[in-house]
Amino acid sequence: MPVVQSRRMVERYRALGWLDKNVHYTEYPNVDHAAWTPAYKDAALLRTLASIKRSKAALNAAVPAGAGRVIPGLFGKSIPRQKPHIYVYDSKGAPEAVAAARALATALADWGPMVAARFTVKADTDVTADDRARFGIVRVAIAATTGTHIGPPAGDQGMRTLTTDAAGRVTLKLTARTARGFEKLRRFARPNRDSWYPEPNRPVIVVD
């Protein structure tokens, strides 16, 4: 985005009498997309933001009805990860698959530096009814190698799905049969290799 567009907005704010009152503009010379590096230096920008106060009445008036509802989009975390949630891995299966499932759940729970939230990782046998009532579930599941399991993942494939139960609860599930399959699903942990944003909201993704 050329800086000239920002400068045009500044001129409009100046014409409206808002510049240096309602609107403050800072331009950093010779900075590329990572403008946050100089902006956050010495916490100057954070101190500026912290000084801004709004009345509770004005804040309530600015929030539209239903603003707390999660609306899936092209960017951001999948629906279960946009609210309080826990990471659950299957504990029954080949030892190497269980270890890989646990490792993937732990990796998914790490949102990286500068994220204050710390997410719980549990074995499926340790999940309580209270957990299911209070939290979204991100499940790292070991696909059955026998029985009625139909479709992918096959072999060393991994599969990521979003499913909704009868109560409307959405579960994010990452499924594989083998340790190698779980390793392929690491692309959805930090950092996501598909793009710069955390993860896509597509309902089904198979990773070969």
Q: Is 142 left (phi over 0), alpha (psi -120 to 50) or beta?
A: beta
Give the count of beta carbons closer than 10 Å to the beta carbon of residue 88: 26
Instruction: State the pLDDT confidence band at 69, using cuts at 50, 70 and 90.
Output: very low
Task: Give the β-pairing of 204-207 and 158-164.
Answer: antiparallel
Measured CA to CA, the distance from residue 84 to residue 72 in angstroms comes to 16
Domains of the chain (ranges; CATH) run 3-62 (no CATH), 79-207 (3.30.379)
Task: Give the β-pairing of 158-164 and 85-89.
Answer: unpaired
> Global pTM?
0.61
Helix, strand, or coil here: 15? helix
Do the beta carbons of residue 138 and residue 82 sit within 8 Å? no
Q: Residue 95's pLDDT is what?
A: 95
Summarize pLDDT for 96-126 with one digit per residue, the tens: 999 999 999 999 998 877 677 789 999 999 9
Token output for 189: 């942990």
Reported residue count of the chain is 208
Measured CA to CA, the distance from residue 207 to residue 44 in angstroms comes to 44
Q: Is 173 left (phi over 0), alpha (psi -120 to 50) or beta?
A: beta
Summarize pLDDT for 2-58 with one digit per residue, the tens: 789 899 999 999 999 999 887 888 888 888 878 888 888 888 788 878 887 776 665
| Alpha helix positions (H), the chain | 3-16, 36-39, 44-50, 56-62, 95-109, 129-134, 179-184
